[in-house]
Structure 1
Amino acid sequence: MAKKDSPRSAADPARGRLSTPTDLGGNAVKDIAAAMNVLLADTFALFFKTKNFHWHVSGPHFRDYHLLLDDQSAEILATTDDMAERVRKLGGQTLKSPDQVVKMSRIAPNEADYVEPADMLAELMEDNRAQVAALRAAHDICDEHGDVATASLIENWIDAAEKRIWFLYETLRPAQSGGH
């Protein structure tokens, strides 16, 4: 574990009016808040992309895909508040505008007029895989600073993203013939 820098207190004038007392050092708060804000931007972008595909899916599996993507988008959106509030609990500041989401997110948008349903699912599967990798990297930062609370939340978000990947993967698999 890395050497801890000195804990920051609410009396530290550099922290401003939004300070929150924590036993984590200033570098820990800075590093973890930065990682979490990028995750938050990615999560908002993944939510919007999933919802976009939910709104624009078509074809013979419309109902199944429409419901799957609606469920997944709701699950993704539900994590955003916990992410942002964790940053605030540490005394950091979080995203304040959609512009910050656009600037910080690593999830590429898809603004095509039409996307084949299977391509939608495959793209979302890859985006969720990228999200898992980013979550694991953020977990490593938390581990470096001894932030078990944020790491614990991240572990749950990894599990949820892996479940989304699993559902997307299974939905994309070709039907097996012969009843096996």
Structure 2
Amino acid sequence: MNALNQIEALETPSDLEEKGREKVAESLNRLVADAFALYIKTKNYHWHMSGRHFRDYHLLLDDQATQILATIDPLAERVRKIGGNTIRSVGHVAQLQRVKDNDEDFVGPKEMLEDLVNENKKMAKNMREAHKIADDAEDVATASLLENYIDETEERTWFLFETTRDLN
């Protein structure tokens, strides 16, 4: 298959304007990368949690990681539905992610939870920005998908914040 046929094989018809679709796809790909990075960070903290509230925090972070992971495929598939190409590799994730990695050997429970509060707040903000791009492109389906994920992200932020209140 020549290069033109390969490109044509991935084309997806859409009634959305091309320029709007490109902007939506770009914003969604950044969210996919962020979700991968936030998933890994959340699992990292889940695996390396310590302290007297270990079990509670361990389970909380596992639940949150599962929720984050569940957003990745629908976001990536939305990119494809509107005719875009999505994440292809870990390297591509690293290029696009806005979630800051944490490779420290030890992070205390309070620092872990506070870091995740901040990352989830940023994630919600980035989702709202993507929602605006979708609105501008008249992409109701993407906007609707993001509304649920914004709510879930805000809930994760709330739970993490409330959990940090009893830590010194």
Q: Shorter-chain TM-score: which interval?
A: over 0.9
Alpha-carbon distance, 1:141 to partner: 0.4
What 5-or-longer segments of structure 1 have no aligned partner? 1-12, 176-180
1:136-174: per-residue Cα shift (whole Å, max 9, x none)?
000000111100100000000000000000100111112
CA distance in 2, matches of 1:174, 1:54: 19
What SS is found at the alignment partner of 2:87? coil
Q: Which residue of 2 aligns with 1:102?
A: 94
Q: Which residue of 2 aligns with 1:79?
A: 71
User: How many residues are treated as equivalent by the alignment?
Assistant: 164
CA distance in 1, matches of 2:6, 2:166: 58
Alpha-carbon distance, 1:15 to partner: 5.6
Q: Which residue of 1 aligns with 2:130?
A: 138
1:60 aligns with 2:52: yes
Alpha-carbon distance, 1:60 to partner: 0.3
1:90-145: per-residue Cα shift (whole Å, max 9, x none)?
01110000000011101000010000101000000000000000000000001111
Question: What is the identity, as a one-letter code, of the residue corresponding to 1:109?
Answer: D
CA distance in 1, matches of 2:142, 2:61: 27
Q: Which residue of 2 aligns with 1:178?
A: none
- Point out the structure with max Rg over C-alpha: 1
Identical positions, percent: 51
Q: Which residue of 1 aligns with 2:119?
A: 127
Q: Which residue of 1 aligns with 2:12?
A: 20
Q: Which residue of 2 aligns with 1:92?
A: 84
TM-score, scaled relative to structure 2: 0.94
What 5-or-longer segments of structure 2 have no aligned partner? none
Report which structure shows greater RCO (CA 8 Å, sep ≥6): 2
Question: What is the identity, as a one-letter code, of the residue corresponding to 2:111?
Answer: D
CA distance in 1, matches of 2:144, 2:12: 20
